[in-house]
Structure 1
Amino acid sequence: MTPAPLTFDEPEAKAAARLQPAPVIEVLSAEKVFADGTRALQPVDLTLRAGDFMTLIGPSGCGKSTLLGMMSNLLQPSEGRLSWWRGGPEKIGAKGRQIGIVFQDPTLMPWATVESNVRLLFDLDRVPASESMPRVRDALARVGLSKFAKHYPRQLSGGMRMRVAIARALATDPDVLLMDEPFGALDEFTRHKLDADILDMWQERSLTAVFVTHSIYEAVFLSTRIVVMAASPGRIIHEIIVDEPFPRDESFRVSTRFANLCADVLNALSLAQKPNHGAS
Structure 2
Amino acid sequence: MREPPAVLAGALQGRAAPAVEVLSAHKTYPNGTVALQPVELTVQEGEFVTLLGPSGCGKSTLLKMIAGLLEPTDGRLLLWRKPVAALEESQRKLAFVFQSPTLMPWASVAANVRLPLDLAGVARAEADSRVMDALALVGLAKFASALPRNLSGGMQMRVSIARSLVVQPNLLLMDEPFGALDEITRHKLDADLLALWREKKLTVIFVTHSIHEAVFLSTRVVMMAARPGRITEEVLIDEPYPRSHDFMVTPRFAAYAKRLQDSLLRASHDTDEENRA
Question: What TM-score do you get using the length of structure 2 for normalisation?
Answer: 0.92
The aligned amino acid for 1:152 is L
Question: How many angstroms apart in 2 are the aligned matches of 1:17 and 1:171?
Answer: 26
Query: Root-mean-square deviation (CA), in Å?
Result: 1.8
What is the deviation of 1:274?
1.4
Q: Which residue number corresponds to residue 129 of structure 2? A: 134
Aligned residues with identical type, % of pairs: 56
Runs of 4+ in 1 over 4 A off after TM superposition: 15-18, 276-279
Residue correspondence of structure 1 range 174-189 to structure 2 within 5 A:
174-189=169-184
Q: Which residue number corresponds to residue 249 of structure 2? A: 254
The aligned amino acid for 1:176 is L
Residue correspondence of structure 1 range 151-166 to structure 2 within 5 A:
151-166=146-161
Alignment pair present for 1:24 and 2:10 = no
The aligned amino acid for 2:252 is R
Q: Deviations over 1:210-269 (max 9, x none)?
A: 000000000000000000000000000000000100000022111111000000000100
Q: Which residue number corresponds to residue 263 of structure 2? A: 268
CA contact (8 A) 2:12 2:46 kept: no
CA contact (8 A) 1:55 1:223 kept: yes
Q: Which residue number corresponds to residue 7 of structure 1? A: none
Greater relative contact order, per chain length (Cα 8 Å cut-off, separation 6+): 2
Q: Which has the larger radius of gyration?
A: 1
The aligned amino acid for 2:136 is A
User: Runs of 5+ in structure 2 lacking a partner?
Assistant: 1-9
Question: How many angstroms apart in 2 are the aligned matches of 1:94 and 1:167?
Answer: 24
Question: How many angstroms apart in 2 are the aligned matches of 1:266 and 1:135?
Answer: 41
What is the deviation of 1:18?
6.3
What SS does the aligned partner of 1:23 have? coil
What SS does the aligned partner of 2:265 have? helix
What is the deviation of 1:128?
1.2
Q: Deviations over 1:75-128 (max 9, x none)?
A: 110011111111212432357511011000110000100000000001111211
User: Runs of 5+ in structure 1 lacking a partner?
Assistant: 1-14
CA contact (8 A) 1:100 1:177 kept: yes
The aligned amino acid for 1:190 is T
What is the deviation of 1:278?
10
Q: Which residue number corresponds to residue 103 of structure 1? A: 98
Q: Deviations over 1:14-58 (max 9, x none)?
A: x99962573111000010011222111011000011011000000
**C-alpha distance 164-95 of structure 1, shift in aligned 2 (>3 A):** farther
CA contact (8 A) 2:97 2:160 kept: yes
Q: Which has the higher helix share?
A: 2
The aligned amino acid for 2:23 is L
Alignment pair present for 1:242 and 2:237 = yes
The aligned amino acid for 2:132 is R
Q: Which residue number corresponds to residue 6 of structure 2? A: none
Deviates more, 1:20-29 or 1:54-63: 20-29
What SS does the aligned partner of 2:233 have? strand
Q: Which residue number corresponds to residue 11 of structure 1? A: none
Alignment pair present for 1:74 and 2:69 = yes
What SS does the aligned partner of 1:97 have? coil
